[in-house]
């Protein structure tokens, strides 16, 4: 934590992100003045983690009680909430309103900016876990907004243990769609892949617990290797070895169990083939064998393939 007085914060929303933020804000020396949510119930439960915080469903009263207002509500609720707050809180000069939606810029906060608020975005590039290690060291936070709001958000990000960064400017604004798609590929889609992998091991007779115990160190090892060596060098498995026979067996088994997982594996194997080829990891014959196995499976069983 850096030194200096921390301003009062109102947290609007008491869901997954807010539950991670509040204890960290308290630990970093912010005064959490109020927590408010639609129902009020979740806010009351969360406010117990911040001594002296008001709690309830009065969002305007909560916002009026603090210098920094965090709109930690679902993405689609940010614009309507900002409109209501602009109507219900008279004076926004001297306040900073931040939301946490990675896919959005500051446009949903425009009604507050028109009332004099500084507006910005602080998007933790991480699905927070429970507990004090909600944001393990090194996680990034995307920052956007007017200059004073950016300064406030950057300072808050650092205080929370996050490393702030900005997407480069583009003529039509920063490429948030690419950013958010990348974030989903790297986290949500990994959840889907591991769920499919667990299903396969359960089909082979393991319990979910045993399946996870087998798969998690494997997945973690792959991620660690990518971090250390980059994707091309971290690559292992049948595609990287040009082992089309093993790949075909995998594709046939997936075709019997889960066609969506089969399609995902085909698409990802094609991506791995490009990666292995561009890194010079496969000779021409190996590349051709793998390409043929993928093409056959894509054409389907009627023509001798797996799909």
Ligand X SMILES: NC(=O)c1ccc[n+]([C@@H]2O[C@H](COP(=O)([O-])OP(=O)(O)OC[C@H]3O[C@@H](n4cnc5c(N)ncnc54)[C@H](OP(=O)(O)O)[C@@H]3O)[C@@H](O)[C@H]2O)c1
Question: By the criterion CB under 6 A, which residues form the site for ligand X?
Answer: 12-18, 37-39, 42, 59, 72-75, 77, 81, 100-101, 123-124, 127-128
* Minimal distance, residue 43 CB to ligand X, in Å: 7
Q: Which is nearer to ligand X, 81 or 240 (CB)?
A: 81
- Which residue in the shown chain puts its C-beta closest to ligand X? 15
Q: Which is nearer to ligand X, 15 or 174 (CB)?
A: 15
* Minimal distance, residue 128 CB to ligand X, in Å: 6
Q: Which is nearer to ligand X, 121 or 211 (CB)?
A: 121
Q: Which is nearer to ligand X, 22 or 266 (CB)?
A: 22
Q: Which is nearer to ligand X, 73 or 276 (CB)?
A: 73
* Minimal distance, residue 184 CB to ligand X, in Å: 11
Cα separation, 57 vs 77, in Å, equals 15
* Minimal distance, residue 183 CB to ligand X, in Å: 9
* Minimal distance, residue 283 CB to ligand X, in Å: 43
Q: Which is nearer to ligand X, 26 or 232 (CB)?
A: 26
* Minimal distance, residue 291 CB to ligand X, in Å: 38
């Amino acid at each position: 934590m850096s030194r200096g007085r921390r301003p009062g914060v109102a947290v609007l929303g008491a869901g997954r992100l807010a539950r991670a933020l509040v204890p960290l804000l308290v630990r970093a020396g912010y005064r959490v003045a109020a927590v408010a949510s639609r129902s009020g119930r979740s806010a009351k439960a969360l406010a117990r983690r911040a001594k002296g915080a008001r709690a309830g469903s009065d969002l305007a009263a909560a916002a009026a009680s603090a210098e920094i207002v965090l709109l930690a509500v679902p993405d689609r609720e940010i614009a309507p909430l900002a409109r209501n707050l602009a109507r219900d809180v008279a004076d926004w000069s001297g306040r900073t309103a931040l939301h946490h939606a990675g896919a959005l810029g500051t446009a949903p906060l425009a009604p507050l900016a028109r009332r004099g608020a500084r507006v910005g975005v602080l998007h933790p590039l991480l699905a927070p876990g429970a507990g004090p290690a909600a944001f393990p060291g090194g996680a990034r936070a995307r920052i956007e907004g007017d200059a004073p709001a950016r300064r406030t958000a950057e300072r808050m990000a650092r205080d929370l243990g996050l490393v702030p960064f900005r997407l480069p400017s583009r003529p039509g604004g920063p490429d948030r769609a690419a950013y958010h798609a990348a974030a989903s590929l790297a986290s949500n889609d990994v959840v889907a892949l591991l769920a499919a992998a667990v299903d396969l091991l359960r089909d082979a007779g393991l319990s979910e617990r045993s399946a996870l115990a087998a798969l998690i160190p494997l997945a973690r090892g792959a991620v660690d290797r990518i971090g250390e060596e980059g994707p091309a060098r971290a690559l292992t498995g049948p595609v990287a070895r040009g082992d089309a026979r093993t790949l075909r067996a995998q594709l046939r088994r997936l075709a019997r169990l889960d066609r969506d997982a089969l399609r995902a594996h085909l698409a990802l194997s094609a991506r791995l083939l490009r990666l292995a080829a561009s890194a010079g990891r496969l000779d021409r014959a190996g590349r051709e064998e793998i390409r043929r196995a993928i093409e056959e499976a894509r054409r389907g069983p009627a023509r001798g393939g797996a799909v």
